[in-house]
A and B are shown apart, each in its own frame.
Chain A
Amino acid sequence: MRLTLERRKWIWAYLFLAVPLIFFLSIRIGPTLFAFWMSLHEWDPIALDRPFIGLENYREVFDDEVFWKAFRNTWIYVVVGVPAGLLFSLVVALGLQRLIRFVGFYRVLYFIPYITSLVAVGWVWRWMYTPNGVFNDVLSRLGLPQSGFLGDPGTAIYAIIATTVWQGLGFQIVIFLAGLESIPGDYLDAASVDGASGWQTFRDIVMPLLNPTIVFLVVTGVISNLQVFTQIRSMSSAGTGGPLDSTISVVLYVYQAAFQSLPSEMGYAAAMMVVLFVVILLITVVQLKFLSRGAYD
């Protein structure tokens, strides 16, 4: 059968598309589905048999105090970390936008933490949080009581969030700047001609037009905070999410179950991951539905 030119074009298009598609299916989707399968088994990679246990792992997840502690902590990472990050980065971005000189220099300055290794950042901050570290030094110079920071179950999680916010600032600032640049100057000019105050301009023009940017940053911020791992591993006491599980996140707990516990509890870890996956999915869907309302009108 002779193929028409049109048809041949189609075939070629699909052929080219197939390469990334196969890659995506085998590297992303495949393992994800496999994790669902693992979560239904008592899965120890070294053991000779990996018995099917149905929903037993899920039942245990729901009875596991540490998992719920990790879940609650993960929630704190999101609820505190995301708004704090947005607020700081918006303030800095608004400031940077007004700069006329050395704009590039300041942008680089704020962006550097973002491209620095998380582990290195974690360790430097750990030093700053030590009893004799720079933060306690500042506190005592101000005549304030010293803080345990990472050593105190009440403050440890916020100490880690502060690091995460600082680290992510650069990325969020760049995105905000792009959003700000895309606001047509005509609108701002018109507002100023009409006698709008700075706050009115910001509230009624800048903010609504920044909505798509904010939606994007909230969604990516929530996802990355739900998956926070490296900072806790390199900053928390003994690297295990302490003291007394006050900083442990779901992802760190999953890592401990899969790779540190002996024998490995891969199936249990997969079950926890599935629970987290479902939560992230639900949150993302809700966010996209509500936050983006009107953003693209």
Chain B
Amino acid sequence: MSKSRFKTSDTSINRRTALKYGAGAAGAAALAGRGWSAAAQEATPAASAGFDLSGMEVSGDVTIEYWQYEFESKTTLVEELITQFNEANPGITVRQRNFPYDDFRQQVAAAVQAGEGPDVLNVFYGWIPAYVQQQFLQPLSQDAFPHDVIESEYFPMVQAARVGEEYYALPTAVRTLGLFVNNDLLEAAGVEPPTNWEETVEVAIATTQKDGDNFEVVGMTWDIGGQGHHWWRECLIRQNGLLPYSEDNREVFWSEPEGVEAFEWLAAFLLEHEVTQSGFQTDGATAFQNGAAALHVDGSYRVGAYTTNAPELNYSIVPLPGNVEQASFASFWANTITRNAAEGDKNIAAHKFISFLSSPDVMRQWTPATGELPALSALAEEEQFTSDEKLAPFIESLPFSYATFLVDEAALRQDVIDAFDQVILNGVDAATAVAEAEASTQERLDEYWAAIDEG
């Protein structure tokens, strides 16, 4: 199907707006010449101590603006953190601004168009590739944040903040997917939480309750538009022994037999085992919250919502059941430097603030306040994180969690939703639907990389 959800068919148009990739790298090199080299020598990879930016100082008073979306636990914490940062860094003032999540990107776009906007911007990692293409983000200085330190001390999913040869962002915290298990329903059915694919199917079948044709309890939630698309694309495919993408994120491999098999395994819950239903209680998270679903795949951020909305819900969390491999999906919000702070004191102040936000001290405050998981691997072993029975399974999943390289979040999600709809509603066979989704996503990737490479 050659449908076009905003694909510019003529790549030559994109070239004009594409990142002048070489220019970006040259900019970073130029930075190194401006008082950064001293820092480079001191940037020894101390064990999870983050980065040493003591060699760079601002030349006078400077104010930078930090933007993140409105989320009370995060904005309140950042206010406190800013006070801590300002005390430690006299001369630098950080001002925080917040916008509702739903129009956060519009606000950013409007401000940038008006010649204003943030110096340090907290972005969803999946927006980074596009922002890089738009030349909106500055690469992080390699002297301040050496790549070998990032790659050895942070969990692997942080590499999704890398485009080409540069890192554009560092997170404070990350989130992963896990399997939410309703303890009461499993106990009633006399089954244990599943640890592999086979058991997952068994548990889903055992826990399903029907009244005639009507489901009263679904064994497994069905929510491709929620987390289901991540579950297949990044978790099930890997668990089945296939890499969904090439290492450089240029090629999609879903239509290999392992990918199709993973797709069929998931679709079978609906089509073959009949243990779930599309649209049951509107969506998966709601069905699980109402105690009407035994198994549900969701992110660590859902724990907070359940604590508030369903304090009585008796559930636990286990890592996603694996097959030949274990794998989970990870995502994160990360701090970036925009082109507003491309040089001078603003750039130095921005680097210092990002370094601060990614420090172990901040992470230790962040996780209890927000429920997000620390991004540094050394921290995840600390007792305060491993002792929390709701957080522990997510933390356990961090070493094998991967963040999909998202060139256009909404469009890539739609590709997967459409593939499942084709199979379920139109009876298309899985191999064809997967091949179509792969072709569509591949086209988007090709277009993206053409813009980056030829820009």
Residues of chain A whose beta carbon lies under 8 Å from any beta carbon of chain B: 42, 44-51, 53, 56, 60, 63-66, 69, 123, 126-127, 129-132, 140, 146, 148, 150-153, 237-240, 242-245, 256-257, 259-265, 268
Contact A130 B109, CB 8 Å, known A56-B13, A65-B4:
no
Which A residues are CB-close (under 8 A) to B108? 46
Please tell me if B9 contacts chain A, counting CB pairs below 8 Å. yes
Please tell me if B134 contacts chain A, counting CB pairs below 8 Å. yes
Q: DSSP class of B's interface residues: helix, strand, loop or mixed? A: helix
In the complex, A256→B280 CA distance in Å?
Answer: 26
Contact B410 A146 (CB under 8 A): no
Shortest beta-carbon distance, A141 to chain B, in Å? 12
User: What are the interface flags for B4-15 relative to A under an 8 Å C-beta threshold, 1 for contact and 0 otherwise?
Assistant: 111011100110
In the complex, A14→B334 CA distance in Å?
Answer: 55
Q: Which 10 A-B residue pairings sit nearest by Cβ, starting from the closest?
A: A238-B225, A262-B130, A45-B109, A65-B3, A45-B113, A260-B410, A46-B134, A47-B17, A261-B6, A265-B6
Shortest beta-carbon distance, A42 to chain B, in Å? 5
Please tell me if B26 contacts chain A, counting CB pairs below 8 Å. no
Residues of chain B whose beta carbon lies under 8 Å from any beta carbon of chain A: 1-6, 8-10, 13-14, 16-17, 103, 105-106, 108-110, 112-113, 127, 130-131, 133-136, 212-215, 224-225, 277-282, 407-411, 413-414, 417-418, 421-422, 425-426
Contact A42 B409, CB 8 Å, known A65-B1, A259-B105:
no
Contact A262 B112 (CB under 8 A): no
Which B residues are CB-close (under 8 A) to A127? 282
Contact A130 B279 (CB under 8 A): yes
Contact A45 B112, CB 8 Å, known A51-B17, A60-B4:
yes
Q: Looking at the complex, which one of B9, B14, B131 makes contact with A46 (CB distance below 8 Å)? A: B131
In the complex, A126→B282 CA distance in Å?
Answer: 7
Which B residues are CB-close (under 8 A) to A260? 410
Contact A132 B215 (CB under 8 A): yes
In the complex, A131→B108 CA distance in Å?
Answer: 40
Contact A240 B425 (CB under 8 A): no
Which B residues are CB-close (under 8 A) to A263? 17, 130, 133-134
Q: Looking at the complex, which one of A47, A153, A245 makes contact with B134 (CB distance below 8 Å)? A: A47
Contact A65 B2 (CB under 8 A): yes
Shortest beta-carbon distance, B126 to chain A, in Å? 8
Q: Looking at the complex, which one of B17, B212, B422 makes contact with A42 (CB distance below 8 Å)? A: B17
Which B residues are CB-close (under 8 A) to A151? 278-279, 425
Shortest beta-carbon distance, B18 to chain A, in Å? 9
Shortest beta-carbon distance, B200 to chain A, in Å? 22
Q: Can you identify 8 A-B contacts, CB atoms within 8 angstroms?
A: A66-B4, A150-B279, A237-B279, A240-B225, A243-B425, A261-B6, A262-B408, A263-B134
In the complex, A244→B199 CA distance in Å?
Answer: 32
Contact B17 A60 (CB under 8 A): no
Contact A256 B5 (CB under 8 A): yes
Contact A66 B109 (CB under 8 A): no
In the complex, A56→B13 CA distance in Å?
Answer: 10
In the complex, A140→B408 CA distance in Å?
Answer: 42
Q: DSSP class of A's interface residues: helix, strand, loop or mixed? A: loop
Shortest beta-carbon distance, B420 to chain A, in Å? 9
CB-nearest residue of chain A to B426: A244
Which B residues are CB-close (under 8 A) to A49? 16-17
Q: Looking at the complex, which one of A45, A148, A262 makes contact with B409 (CB distance below 8 Å)? A: A262
In the complex, A130→B282 CA distance in Å?
Answer: 6
In the complex, A220→B430 CA distance in Å?
Answer: 45
Shortest beta-carbon distance, A37 to chain B, in Å? 14
Which A residues are CB-close (under 8 A) to B16? 42, 49, 51
CB-nearest residue of chain B to A130: B279
Which B residues are CB-close (under 8 A) to A132? 214-215, 280-281
Contact B279 A44 (CB under 8 A): no
Which A residues are CB-close (under 8 A) to B213? 140, 146
CB-nearest residue of chain A to B127: A262
Which A residues are CB-close (under 8 A) to B109? 45-46, 264
Q: Looking at the complex, which one of B4, B225, B279, B410 makes contact with A63 (CB distance below 8 Å)? A: B4
In the complex, A56→B11 CA distance in Å?
Answer: 12
Which A residues are CB-close (under 8 A) to B413? 238
In the complex, A56→B10 CA distance in Å?
Answer: 9
Which A residues are CB-close (under 8 A) to B418? 242, 244
Contact A242 B130, CB 8 Å, known A130-B282, A262-B409:
no
CB-nearest residue of chain A to B422: A244
Contact B417 A242 (CB under 8 A): yes
In the complex, A243→B425 CA distance in Å?
Answer: 9
Which B residues are CB-close (under 8 A) to A244? 418, 421-422, 425-426
In the complex, A42→B421 CA distance in Å?
Answer: 32
Contact A131 B280 (CB under 8 A): yes
Which A residues are CB-close (under 8 A) to B224? 238
Which B residues are CB-close (under 8 A) to A51? 13, 16-17
Which B residues are CB-close (under 8 A) to A150? 279
> Among A239, A245, A261, which residue has the most Cβ atoms of chain B within 10 A?
A261
Which A residues are CB-close (under 8 A) to B136? 46-47
Q: Looking at the complex, which one of B281, B411, B421 makes contact with A261 (CB distance below 8 Å)? A: B411
Contact B421 A66 (CB under 8 A): no
Q: Looking at the complex, which one of A46, A131, A140 makes contact with B112 (CB distance below 8 Å)? A: A46
Which B residues are CB-close (under 8 A) to A243? 421, 425
In the complex, A153→B425 CA distance in Å?
Answer: 8
Which B residues are CB-close (under 8 A) to A60? 4, 8-9
Contact A238 B417, CB 8 Å, known A47-B134, A49-B17, A66-B5:
yes
Contact A152 B425 (CB under 8 A): yes
